[in-house]
Every structure is written in structure tokens, then in C-alpha cells.
Amino acid sequence: MSGELAGKVAIVTGGASGIGKASVELFVREGAKVVVADIQVEGGEMLSRALGGNVAFHRTDVTREAEVEALVGFAIERFGSLDVMFNNAGGGGISDIPFVERDFAEYEKVMALNLRGPLLGMKHAARHMAKRGGGSIINTCSTAGIFPGIGIPFYRAAKAGLLQVSKSLALELSPQGIRVNCIPPGPVTTDTFGTKLGISEEKARRIEKVISEGLLAMQALKQPIRPSDIAQGALYLASERSSRVTGHNLVISAGNGLGDPVNHAQELSAAIAAAMK
């Protein structure tokens, strides 16, 4: 531990599992006090207890403005300030339905979680950060918002919008010393996978194997992308090492999207469907 975040206070949304959990654990090791925000109460409270007094859990639905405002207020009341806002909560929606057959109720949910949520987080964090002279806002975006592909059209739209608005807000908030950056991860298989699908543990492991093998075939670096890899990027953007970095997209994808002319999404979707039977 080098204490890169010593004395800093951070909020991590979606912090009870996956990328969020890995980031909370790393931030605490580096000296930060962290508020874990999530709708997963059991997981959030368990993580808070495991990491001790420098971590607090606050049940938060990031799509609801009153709850996001309360979250920021909680962090300030509990730990005295807010230096880092990591808007990480998100979800991809359904991948195997043709676009022309989609129900736009899914659109509302995906956009609320992946675009409205981070916008609310930026708004309420920036209000406090502006008063204290600065801070770091980090948004989990996605390579799905950069590169075209088949499937998850609403998720792609939301993440592309988040990439664009993050750059715009980096400009608008810079006079207040607030930095805004994005991390677009490549596909990361996290521990939320089976839970979100509501399937058996055995089937989840089988599908995860199919996904992992398919994704490695699409990457330049033949190594799986882990939540801890994304957490390291978040640490950089939260720390003073990135004090001159704003409006940046720190892509962590193991080279996924560098130029393979073949889109393998349909093949991977078919393999996942077969594994689910």
C-alpha cells in the first residue's frame, strides 16, 4: 500500500459487487474512506463490515435523484467531505432480441441506470466539490459505447452518451477544479453475472466459461479482464497522479476493438444461448 488516497473520501456506486467492490477494496487499501452505494443491501453491508470503520454502506437507487442527493449528503456527514465520485453502477440489458422486436420499456430502464444515474451523481457531487475547490469524477463507460456491434443497442446508446457528456462536463466543471474522466472497460465477467440472470450456479459457471473463451478470442492480449484491472484504472484517476488529466477515456480492454474486422458478437450470443439450455 502506498497511501495514494490517504485523507480522501470517495463514493463508489454499484460498490457491492464486481468492479465496484474491487474498487472499494483498493481505495480503502490506499487510505481512502469510502461510501458503498448499491441496491444490494446484503452485499453492501457485508462489505462494509468486512472493511471496517473507513467504509460505510448507503442503500441507493442511482436512478432516483432524491436518493443520489441523500447519498452525497451521507458521505459528507459521515466522513466530512467528498473528493472522489465513482459513478460505476450500470447494466447491459438484454442482448439476444432483434432490434425490431424490442420493447422500449427496456430502453427506459437501461438509459435510467447507465446515463441518468451517472448524470445525477455528477450533478450532486459537483455541487459539493465546487464549494471545496475541486475533486475527481469517474464514470464507468464501456467499449460498447465506442465500437459498433450487434446486440444491446440501448446500452450502447447510453454509454456513448455518457462518454460525450463526460467530456462536455470536463470542460464546464474545470474552472471549479473538478476533473471528469471515463473508464470504458472491455467485457468483464463479474460475480454479478449469475445473480442478474437469476440462473443456477452450475449454469452460470458454464455460461461464464463460454463468455470467457469467446472474449479472449476477440482480444489482442489473451488475458481475462478482471474487476481488479478496472479498479487500478479508477485508482489512477482518483489519485493525484492524474491531477492534469480530465476529459479522458481510459480504455481498459486488453486490446478488444483494436481492429479485428470480424464482429464475433453473434457467434458469442449463439454460444451463450446454447450453454443456457
Q: Active site includes 155?
A: yes
Residue that is written with C-alpha cell 479508477 in the block: 234
Helix segments in 64-200, DSSP class H: 65-79, 104-111, 117-132, 153-173, 193-197
Backbone angles phi, psi at 86, to 5 degrees: -105, 100
- Taking only the tens place, the pLDDT of each residue in 182-226 is 999 987 865 545 545 556 677 767 767 776 776 777 777 878 889
- Taking only the tens place, the pLDDT of each residue in 85-105 is 999 999 987 677 888 999 899
Q: Look over the chain and give the mean of its residue pLDDT values, rounded to a whole number.
A: 89
- Taking only the tens place, the pLDDT of each residue in 112-149 is 999 999 999 999 999 999 999 999 999 999 988 998 88
Residue 48 has pLDDT above 70, yes or no: yes
- Give long-range contacts, CB 8 A cutoff, 24+ apart: 190-195: 190/17, 190/18, 190/19, 190/227, 191/17, 191/18, 191/21, 192/17, 192/18, 195/17
Q: What is the mean pLDDT of residues 10-18?
A: 97
pLDDT of residue 261: 44
Task: Tell me which residue of 127, 126, 238, 146 sits closest to 187, measured CA to CA.
Answer: 146
Catalytic residue among 125, 155, 178, 219: 155
The answer as to CATH 3.40.605.10 being correct for domain 9-193+226-261 is: no
Q: What is the mean pLDDT of residues 15-27?
A: 97
Assess contact for 204 and 194: CB atoms under 8 A.
yes
Task: Tell me which residue of 40, 265, 186, 216 sits closest to 208, measured CA to CA.
Answer: 216
pLDDT of residue 94: 67
What's the distance, CA 236 to chain centroid?
15
What's the distance, CA 105 to chain centroid?
22
Angstrom distances, CA of residue 159 to CA of 58, 69, 104 = 25, 22, 17
Segment holding 69, helix H or strand E: helix 65-79
pLDDT of residue 257: 75
- Taking only the tens place, the pLDDT of each residue in 216-270 is 777 778 788 899 999 999 999 999 999 999 999 999 987 877 765 455 666 667 7
Q: Give CA–CA dist 138/203, Å, rounded.
A: 34
Q: What is the mean pLDDT of residues 25-32?
A: 98
Backbone angles phi, psi at 135, to 5 degrees: 165, 175
pLDDT of residue 265: 63
Type of residue found at 151: G
- What's the predicted TM-score (pTM) here? 0.87
Q: Give CA–CA dist 226/187, Å, rounded.
A: 9
Angstrom distances, CA of residue 30 to CA of 5, 27, 184, 258 = 5, 5, 23, 32
Helices then strands, counting H and E runs in the chain, come out as: 10, 6
